[in-house]
Structures are given as C-alpha cells and as structure tokens.
Amino acid sequence: MYEFTLAGAMAASVALVFGLRNEVIRPLAAWAVLIVLLALGLAIAVLWTPAGELVPVLDSYRLVVHVAAAVTAGGIFTLGFVSAVAYLIRAGQGRDEAGH
C-alpha cells in the first residue's frame, strides 16, 4: 500500500499540474495539494513495511500494467473528488448568499 499511495500522490500531482491550465481548477490546487500531502504523511507514518518475497505468480508483466492503471485511475479520481467537494462547498455558499 505504501508504494501505491506514493504513486497515486504522484499521479494526482501530475494531473493537477496539467489541470492548472484550466481556470476552473486553479482554486482547487490548494485542496489537491493538501490531500496529496496527507496521503504522503499517511504513507510514511502508517503504511510503510519492509518488503518480503514476491509470490511467483505475481512475477509477470501483467502486474506492471495493473499497477499503472490503478495508479492513474487513483490520481484522476482524487482530482474528481476535490472538484466535487469544491463544487458542493461553492453551491452551498451561493445558497447562503441568496437566503435559502
């Protein structure tokens, strides 16, 4: 899980860098960075364990494909999560200003 969390944080960071070209994503950058930093802290403090022997059935090229797809999806879903939460917060602020 340690390596998966590190790779997911990297994928989220890279997706954020490319997403900064869009004006809509720029206000979300601080929240995305906060989630990445929390994930990195969790990885170091809780998830790190010494490596053991690899089961022979996992010694395949499919493992690399699987991990790459999972990490990429995790980074994209992290940005989607931050965007959805920011939208809900913003929608709630608009509702408060309108007096609803």
For 24-33, write each residue's pLDDT tens digit.
778 888 888 9
Number of structural domains, the chain? 1
Does residue 99 register a pLDDT over 70? no
What count of Cα atoms within 13 Å lies in the side-chain half-sphere of residue 91?
Answer: 6
* Averaged pLDDT for residues 49-77: 81
pTM for the model stands at 0.52
- What is the structure's pLDDT at 100? 56
* CA atoms of 41 and 21, how far apart (whole Å): 27
Range of the domain at 23: 2-98
Q: Say if CB 9 and CB 41 are below 8 A apart.
A: no
Q: How far apart are CA 28 and CA 63, in angstroms?
A: 33
Q: Mean pLDDT, to the nearest integer, of 40-54?
A: 83
43-75 as b/e, with b when 16 or more CB fall inside 10 Å?
Answer: beeeeeeeeeeeeeeeeeeeeeeeeeeebeebb
